[in-house]
Structure 1
């Protein structure tokens, strides 16, 4: 005989908390990028993400997620993606290949309990999956590395296809729109919300202050600039991961459109009452930001958070990353990648050392003034000036 579940809210909440596993609010979205905008610390994320990449994993960790339920394979074996290991290292419980029906059984905001790979809603089992462990992730990563050559071949094929479709844009700049932001002869800083972007922006503060480059935010990179205290001059992207605050900050907007002219992000811009320039091109938004800067005469392009290595191209999980490789060849010597600047150099001068240096300098000056004849003249002059000031001050109140 089944024991009825208590429906009194307080009693029920206490009973659920006594059960094993993690009990928390579930947030659901098939797009990890969209989900991270709503996640709160301690909540459970339900996603559909094949080969969880590093950027997505770091975003989930930054949100403070407790459990990640993935209805897809976190590591499919196509290439050694970095996301699952990052989640495990951060203490997040990861469950892959979850029963797809969980998207139909659980609604956003429901309180669910996860234990030993099983997902419970109230007293009902609504799904199950495979619990990821350091051992299982290491084994899958080893298999993925063994098959990496196939992915490199596919990457090369995609690169040749991109050259065929976009040779006019890459070679002659055909199709680059006119914009009002002036870049001729100036430095341009392109910010993508990618690997170590926060640390690198912080390290580049002296450079930004001295050279005052044109600031381009690529989608969420515009919010990264605002968070760092900078106002972007230009925002480029399909605008699916940029805030309304950024879109309305006064920056010029360039909507990345498909080659056939369709621009899904344009509708959002128009709803906000903003104007935008449309840039139809194959590839990624960070690519067209660099091509735009190069075509408009930028003397130097500094990239923050962009993709530079083959593993990073594959880690994005899309064939369009071939365009990034070719764009970097097109931009050539103008491009300086700021990736890892924060790790390459950190100041070794502490605040205490600076204070000690200042104190030493002051003591040295004092000794020189005290023992040198000219110094004594200066000290006597200072003493007379101080006595005159005291005499004047006393006269005001007497």
Structure 2
């Protein structure tokens, strides 16, 4: 039985036979959720379910989102590692022992519907006792080989990155260098610190670590799209929400925060209708950059004296994760706001307080000794202790 180059289908096998093999035993079984955009799928998938995605170069944030939502397996119709660069998403799933069936092909969508029950064994996917797709189980040697090949191809991607950066500067030079076109926020940032929260790697952990700073300094909280919900989950209310509004909840949009809708360069703003339907009058900013970049630029140009970035993208692989259209803008914007920028990414790993069991036992023992000494020196406490002991003995005798 032959496969295509991406290992996605069974060439030469008649369609009727290909999809009518019996399901082997011992498979992973779960309800399936399907979406062409992984970001949208995260709103619907529940713990114990299987995700079918169409995601070239599965990025780290998307993979972490699938884990956070409790996916037990992921079926990718596309190639999770195309070879452009060593994206970390598949590695995140592998380390969590969540199977990733790669390159299954979009043909599977003709045979599987949202809510169906899927069974997975090895690289094969079954639905209603029939084989509906075969791909590559991306783990172990297959994963290492794919990542090694992608690492070797980084030179070409770096050249694309440089060209994309120059193109972006030509288009958005006035916005980046002089802040032209940025809306004037009602929220005052001049002379205040701002915390910009982005749905990036370990952003929730870093946000929790920063809670003491937020409580003490009361910075302006700027959330990029769905990060507004993360703030609310931590008991914090965002002051400003910026984004195309495709991943933020209605609850977050109506929490009282100022809203800035990110539009395409031609003025189209897909999220505008949703915001206006909620009775909110937002500011609108058209830009070829990302919502993360707009948030950083707004904080900088509005006079914030310190910008703390949580979950922001800060390295080449993460720039590439965002796609060629977005990676150059982040690189350039970080150069612009650098003098005021404090990147809090990974701050949760700097120090983690760990209370050892031995320390707790010593503390309890010291407390008992102190109470015993106090009781021996105080007649009142000694009498109270004697009465307590007598009462415990009487209770014991009445039971036994």
What's the TM-score once normalised by structure 2's chain length?
0.83
Paired position in structure 2 for 1:10: none
Q: Which has the larger radius of gyration?
A: 1
Structure 1: distance between partners of 2:364 and 2:106:
65
How is 1:149-298 mapped onto 2 (pairs within 5 angstroms)? Answer: 149-298=155-304
Structure 1: distance between partners of 2:324 and 2:366:
58
Candidates 322, 343, 355, aligned match of 1:316:
322
Unaligned 5+ segments in structure 2 are: 1-21, 379-400
Structure 2: distance between partners of 1:24 and 1:359:
50
Q: Could you tell me how far 1:318 is from its partner in structure 2?
A: 3.4
Paired position in structure 1 for 2:87: 81
**Are 1:21 and 2:27 matched, yes or no?**
yes
**Are 1:40 and 2:50 matched, yes or no?**
no
Structure 1: distance between partners of 2:336 and 2:190:
18
CA contact (8 A) 2:288 2:325 kept: no
Paired position in structure 2 for 1:93: 99
Structure 2: distance between partners of 1:231 and 1:24:
36
Structure 2: distance between partners of 1:325 and 1:23:
43
Q: Could you tell me how far 1:99 is from its partner in structure 2?
A: 2.8
Task: Evaluate the alpha carbon distance shift between residue 240 and residue 359 of structure 1 in structure 2; reply closer, same or farther with a 3 A threshold.
Answer: same
CA contact (8 A) 2:265 2:288 kept: yes
**RMSD value over aligned CA atoms?**
2.8
**Are 1:109 and 2:115 matched, yes or no?**
yes
Q: Could you tell me how far 1:301 is from its partner in structure 2?
A: 0.3
Structure 1 range deviating more: 307-316 or 292-301: 307-316
Unaligned 5+ segments in structure 1 are: 1-15, 368-378, 380-398
3-state SS in 2 of match to 1:294 = helix
Q: Could you tell me how far 1:19 is from its partner in structure 2?
A: 3.1
Q: Could you tell me how far 1:356 is from its partner in structure 2?
A: 7.2
Structure 2: distance between partners of 1:19 and 1:354:
48
CA contact (8 A) 1:239 1:255 kept: yes
3-state SS in 2 of match to 1:235 = strand
CA contact (8 A) 1:155 1:319 kept: no
CA contact (8 A) 1:53 1:317 kept: no
Structure 1 range deviating more: 64-73 or 115-124: 115-124
Structure 2: distance between partners of 1:214 and 1:299:
11
CA contact (8 A) 1:17 1:23 kept: no
Task: Evaluate the alpha carbon distance shift between residue 335 and residue 352 of structure 1 in structure 2; reply closer, same or farther with a 3 A threshold.
Answer: farther
3-state SS in 2 of match to 1:101 = helix
Q: How many pairs align? A: 359
What's the TM-score once normalised by structure 1's chain length?
0.83
